[in-house]
Structures are given as C-alpha cells and as structure tokens.
Structure 1
Amino acid sequence: MGNASSMLTQYDIEEVQEHCNNLFSQQEIVSLYQRFCQLDRNSKGFISADEFLSVPEFSVNPISQRLLKMVDGLNFKDFVAFLSAFSAKASIQQKIELIFKVYDLDSNGKVTFNDILEVLRDLTGSFMSEKQREQVLSHVLEEAGYTSTSALLLDDFIKILGNSDLKMEVEVPVD
C-alpha cells in the first residue's frame, strides 16, 4: 500500500475498511484507491497540497486552504479516513468532529470567536462587512448560550450541531 502504483490486496482493503470504521464497502475502497493513485501523480504514496488542488471542486471551495492543512501529505489509509466523515454512513458526531477541526485553526482543542470569524471571512468574502460578520456571529453564539469570549470545545459543537441535519456527503462512484 506504500507504493501508490501497487495493487491493493484483500488484506489491504480490509485493513483500510477497519481503519475507517467500515464506512466504505470493499468496492468503494478500490474506487477510492484508483482516485488516490490518479491524484498521487508522482507515485509517492501520499497526496500533496498541490495534488489536492488539482481537484476542481476542492480548489474552488472557500475553505480549501483550511482543508489543505488537514489533508496535505495523507497516505491512502488516512485519505480514506478523512473522507469517511463524508460517507452517508458516517455518524453526525464524525461529521461534527471534522467541522470542529476546520474551525480549530491552531489545533488547540478550542474554537474561539476569532477562529469562527476567520472561517466566516473565508466563506463570505466581500459579501459581508467585518461588522456584519461580528454581529451575526455574536447573535448566533448568544442564541446558543455562548458569548464572544467563550472558547468552544468539541462537546459544545456536538451540543450545538448535534440535532442538525448535516448534509456532508460525497458519493463514491463504483465501476
């Protein structure tokens, strides 16, 4: 599995399935491996940030720079584990954990007002003024029982988003 040009064995497929909590079928793992090999243009066994940016849907995503920090240098097993949060079978908690990582800019286990504000800047661009972003964010936090000085933990994200219907799904084409 280290060499991207090698073929997956049944053992490799089962190992990857186990690593991603069986959220993908064996056929999906094989399909993801083919895509991984296409992205790993130099057959290094991992995908670089530049290779991820070759995916049009990824490169135009307003938070792609944040995601790049999470995916740069992933080997196949970790690539599938990352994508597992986008599986239709992934739990709401798995999806929220990924969202939390996107917002936790410094990976300290806490999301601050400024962390969220920075993501909002990426998402809204010039469509909102800084003052509007701050007002909206303050209002949303207040509605959820927090203030602009609160540091949100993963449990807080789960509490806030746990009952929402998050649609974060990517269909894996199977040949």
Structure 2
Amino acid sequence: MGSTSSMLTQYDIEEVQEHCHNLFSQQEIVSLYKRFCQLDRNAKGFISSDEFLSVPELATNPISQRLLKMVEGLNFKDFVAFLSAFSARATMQQKIEFIFKVYDSDRNGKVSFNDILEVLRDMSGSFMSDEQREKVLTQVLQESGYSRGAYLTLDDFSKVLGGHGLKMEVEVPID
C-alpha cells in the first residue's frame, strides 16, 4: 500500500476499514483509493497541500487553511481516517472530535474563545463584524455554562455542540 500505483489487496482494504472504524464499505474504500491516486499526482504515497487544494470544494472552503494543517502529508490509510468523520455512519461524537481538531489549531487539547473566534471569522468573513461574532460566541458559551475566559476540552466542546444537529456528510461515489 506504500506506492499508489499498486492496487489494493483484500488485506489492505480490511486494514483500512478497521483503521476507520468500519465507517466505509469495501467498495467505498476502493473508490476512495482511486480518488487518492488521482490526487497524488506524483505517486509519492501521500497528498501534499497543493494536491489537496486541487479539489475545488476544498480550495474554496473558508477553513481550508485549517484543514490543510490536518491533511498535509497524509498517506491513504490516514486520508480515509480523515474522511471518516464525514461518513453518514460516523457518530455525532466522531464528528464533534473532528470539529474540535479544526478549532484546536495549536493541538494543545483545549479550545479558547479566540480559537473559536478565529474559525468564526474565517467562516463568516465580512458578513459579520468582530463585535457581532464576539457577542454571538459569548452568548453561546454562556448558554452552555462557560465564560469567555474558559478553555474548552473535548468533553466541554461536546457539551456545547452536542445538542445541535450537525450535518457533515460526504457521499462517496461507487464506480
């Protein structure tokens, strides 16, 4: 599985399936492998930032720079694990853990008010002022029992997001 020019064996498929907690079927993994090989233009066995940004939906995503930090240099197995949060079969907790990683850009296991504010700024652009973003975020945190100065751990973050429906799915086309 090291070289992207080789085909996946049944063992490789099952290993990847296990690595991503069986959130993708074997057919979906084969389709994802084909897509991975298309993205890995130089057949290095991993995806670079430039290759990742060749996907138009990702290049125009307002948080693409944060996502790049998470995907730079991913091999196929980790690429599938990254995408597993977007599976229709992923649990709400798996989706929240992924979102937490997006917000926790310094990887210290905590999300601060400013971390969340930065993501909101990326996502809302000029549609909201900094003052509006801060007001909304302060209110959401207060409603969840947290202050502006709090650092949210994954458990805290889950409490804040857990009650809100998250629609975060990507359909994997089967060839």
Cα distance per residue 1:68-108 (max 9 Å; x no partner): 00001000000000000000000111000000000112110
Looking at structure 2, the residues matched to 159 and 129 of structure 1 have their Cα atoms a distance apart, in angstroms, of 26
Q: Return the TM-score normalized by structure 1.
A: 0.98
Match of 1:111 in 2: 111
Counterpart residue number, 2:122:
122
For structure 1, the 5+ residue unaligned runs are: none
Return the offset for 1:164. Answer: 2.5
CA distance in 1, matches of 2:59, 2:150: 32
SS in 2 for 1:46: coil
Gaps of 5+ in 2: none
| CA deviation string 1:6-59 (max 9, x = no partner) | 100001000000100111111000000000000000000000011010000000
Match runs of 1:80-119 below 5 Å? 80-119=80-119
Superposed, 1:1-20 pairs within 5 Å as 1-20=1-20
With normalisation by structure 2, the TM-score equals 0.98
Cα deviation per residue 1:89-143 (whole Å; 9 max; x = unaligned)?
0011100000000011211000000000111110111111111111111111111
Number of aligned residue pairs: give it: 175
SS class of match (2:28): helix
Instruction: Tell whether 2:78 aligns with 1:61.
Output: no
| Aligned residues: CA RMSD | 0.7
Per the TM alignment, residue 144 of structure 1 is displaced from its structure 2 partner at its CA by 1.0
Percent identity of equivalent pairs = 78
Runs of 4 or more off by more than 6 Å in structure 1?
A: none
Measure, in 2, the Cα distance between the counterparts of 1:104 and 1:58: 19
